[in-house]
Amino acid sequence: MIRINENYTKLKASYLFADIAKRVGAYTAANPQSPAIRLGIGDVTEPLPPACIDALHAATDEMANRATFKGYGPEQGYGFLRELVAASDYAERGCRIEPDEVFISDGSKCDCGNIQEIFATDVRLAIPDPVYPVYVDTNVMAGRTGANVDGRYEGILYLDSTSRNGYVPAVPDAPADLIYLCFPNNPTGAVATRAQLEAWVAYARRNKAVILFDSAYESYIRDPGIPRSIYEIEGARDVAIEFRSFSKIAGFTGTRCAYTVVPKTLMAWDRAGNAHPLHALWNRRHTTKFNGVAYPIQRAAAAVYSAEGRSQTRALTDFYLGNARLIRDAMGKLGFACVGGDNAPYIWVNVGTDSWQFFDQMLSKAQVVVTPGSGFGKCGEGHVRISAFNSRENVEKALARIAAALA
Ligand code: MLT
């Protein structure tokens, strides 16, 4: 008799954004005359930058020509892109990352979800709350937790992120082995200072732990004092893996390209106490289960680093940050306490009521989709996340509708 992975039965029936899509779908089917404006899932709306489109066209032409056609590429990504990442995203900011420490992939969601495979099932987890649900759910699937009791899984050390700590959790007193951090944060939009990241790196070094640093929204940081990468912190090469994505900097949510950095100096240990480089393990996993990102897509991603690409992607992120400012100001004027939106495309709004109830109210009365905070964890209750990813026209319309619905 074939049996299931029973860890899946510990999960909520559906993934947060699938659940929201289902509710919005049902609402739209019942009310086809009032389409909803989506400020829920962080999905971009603006077209790819022209520099990326030009590169995509040119690479497509290469694929049409026998002399330049490409079949399987290197699983870890083409050298041209790995070199650009190492030079532009790291060397330019004073970080020492080698091109072969960069693994190109089809998304940070996949990488954040898959990375846990290279760690033992009995490692001690520390995960912020609220948090991008992929970190928790994939560890539940892998059997690293017990049951969900009162909205929290047994076996996870939750790092509460609330207004009391400015949504940046301090290092805990208890030891942990695998720590998830995300800055700029999804969902709160909070950023971590250098001193806060230094404390986390020191904690990880003390505990021989690994930090999984999700920095998918780093291109939204405008405060020059805020680190964009964990590798800007001395010693982080020995304790951290970093995830980055082209989705939110250049509109690649549908095009799919991201990367994960695994420094060769980063070690983890077997039961007998022997050290193993995680780079070799991730390389083994990646080459076994992944066949590389399409060549034209990698060429389009490489165009992000050209002079035109840099200015076009800056304009794109500035545009979404302009939306974020409008949202934060409007929600503030309605009397809600808000954070985020200045160095991140998300605004975290304290609505002071059940977050699914507020979601339903916004959907039915304003035809606006937001994300209920409780979907990100227990500490998210009483909040909603509003995404700045939409056209200016839709954001303005949504804000007017929200104000009218709450009047
Ligand atoms: C979000 O809305 O949290 C993100 O868009 C989800 C993702 O990037 O997978």
Instruction: Give per-residue pLDDT as tens, 59-103.
Output: 999 999 999 999 999 999 999 999 999 999 999 999 999 999 999
Q: What per-residue confidence (pLDDT) applies to 14?
A: 83
Q: What is the Cα–Cα distance from 154 to 158, expressed in whole angstroms?
A: 10
User: If you take atom 5 of ligand 1, which residue's CA is the nearest one?
Assistant: 42
Q: What per-residue confidence (pLDDT) applies to 12?
A: 87
Tell me the pLDDT band of 57, cut-offs 50, 70 and 90: very high
Q: What per-residue confidence (pLDDT) applies to 404?
A: 97
User: If you take atom 6 of ligand 1, which residue's CA is the nearest one?
Assistant: 42
Q: What per-residue confidence (pLDDT) applies to 299?
A: 98
State mean pLDDT over 295-313.
Answer: 98
| Ligand 1 atom at shortest distance from the alpha carbon of 41 | 2
Instruction: Give per-residue pLDDT as tens, 235-290.
Output: 999 999 999 999 999 999 999 999 999 999 999 999 999 999 999 999 999 999 99
CA of 180 to the centre of ligand 1 (A): 16
Tell me the pLDDT band of 215, cut-offs 50, 70 and 90: very high
State mean pLDDT over 124-138.
Answer: 97
Judged against a pLDDT cut of 80, whether residue 7 lies above it is answered with yes
Predicted model pTM: 0.97
Q: What is the Cα–Cα distance from 324 to 387, expressed in whole angstroms?
A: 8
For the chain, what is the mean pLDDT?
A: 97
Instruction: Give per-residue pLDDT as tens, 177-206.
Output: 999 999 999 999 999 999 999 999 999 999
Half-sphere exposure of 105 (CA within 13 A, CB side): 27
Judged against a pLDDT cut of 90, whether residue 387 lies above it is answered with yes
Q: Which of 43, 44, 248, 384 for a ligand 1 pocket mutation test, highest count of atoms within 8 Å of Cβ?
A: 43
CA of 4 to the centre of ligand 1 (A): 28
Q: Which of 15, 17, 39, 347 for a ligand 1 pocket mutation test, highest count of atoms within 8 Å of Cβ?
A: 17
The DSSP annotation for 296-332 comes to HHHHHHHGGGSHHHHHHHHHHHHHHHHHHHHHHHHHH
Q: What per-residue confidence (pLDDT) applies to 15?
A: 86
Tell me the pLDDT band of 156, cut-offs 50, 70 and 90: very high
Strand-strand pairing, 240-245 and 258-261? antiparallel
Q: What is the Cα–Cα distance from 388 to 391, expressed in whole angstroms?
A: 9
Rounded to 5 degrees, what are φ and ψ at 197? -70, -35
For residue 279, what is the enclosing H or E element?
helix 278-289
Share of residues in the chain with pLDDT > 90 (%): 99
Pocket (CB within 6 angstroms of ligand 1): 41-43, 109, 132, 186
Share of residues in the chain with pLDDT > 70 (%): 100
Q: What is the Cα–Cα distance from 56 to 85, expressed in whole angstroms?
A: 18
DSSP secondary-structure letter at 273? S
Q: How many helices (H) and strands (E) does the chain have?
A: 12, 17
Q: Which of 20, 41, 114 for a ligand 1 pocket mutation test, highest count of atoms within 8 Å of Cβ?
A: 41
Listed residue (28, 81, 25) closest to 52, CA to CA? 81
Q: What per-residue confidence (pLDDT) applies to 34?
A: 87
Token readout for 249 is 């900097």
Amino acid at 61: D
DSSP secondary-structure letter at 28? H
Judged against a pLDDT cut of 90, whether residue 13 lies above it is answered with no
Rounded to 5 degrees, what are φ and ψ at 213? -105, 110
